[in-house]
A = this chain, B = another copy of it.
Amino acid sequence: MSKEKAIINLIAVFRKYGYEGATLSRLGEATGLGRSSLYHYFPKGKEEMAGAVLEYVSHCFETTILAPLRTNEEPLQRLKEMCEKVNQFYGQGQENCLLNAISLGEGNALFQPLIQQAFSMWIEEIRQVLLIAGIEEEEAYNRAVEAVILIEGSLVLVRGLKNKEPFEKVISNLPDKLLKSTF
């Protein structure tokens, strides 16, 4: 098994259990690897695994969710494309956000800079599209922040309510909502 495949399998564990709940047993089970193999790929152990997972997810995010925001399409089209990718990325709302999960407890102290960067980039890329759409500076920033808030919040609620509806609604309304006229 390649390191990349291992990382992909690790993601699900950190997403579901957070940093402290992601035990080596669970990580081994998810990858099908024994401890020795895990330590072969990640000599510094669990912390390195979490770091690799965060880095990998940030990269995925960049190339699948943020990339559509930088095309030459119309702003509305770009946002729709992003939402479709977000929908896939979070399994139609059924998968937790890794950044939320890993920013609890110890994980926060260890990875806050990476988490902050990921959120900041996401906000910034949305903001750029809104500026292109002719939305005024401050309003564009506020709306970009709200977009991320809505996605994160709806994922929390989906988990709490055991009901995908909040996420589905957020995703389907988001593009129009972000671009609607101020008046």
Shortest Cβ distance from residue A94 to the other chain B in the assembled complex, whole angstroms: 12
By the criterion CB–CB under 8 Å, are A17 and B152 in contact?
Answer: no
CB-defined contacts of A17 to chain B, threshold 8 Å: 20, 104-106
Of B96, B103, B148, the contact of A153 (CB 8 Å cutoff): B148
Chain A, 122-163, CB within 8 A of any chain B CB: 142, 145-146, 148-154, 156-157, 159-162
By the criterion CB–CB under 8 Å, are A16 and B105 in contact?
Answer: yes
Which bucket holds chain A's interface residue count? Answer: 35 or more
CB-defined contacts of A19 to chain B, threshold 8 Å: 21
Given A100-B160, A119-B160, 20 extra CB contacts under 8 A: A17-B104, A18-B105, A21-B21, A21-B104, A21-B106, A100-B100, A103-B156, A115-B160, A118-B160, A145-B166, A145-B169, A149-B149, A149-B154, A149-B156, A149-B157, A149-B170, A152-B152, A152-B157, A153-B153, A153-B154
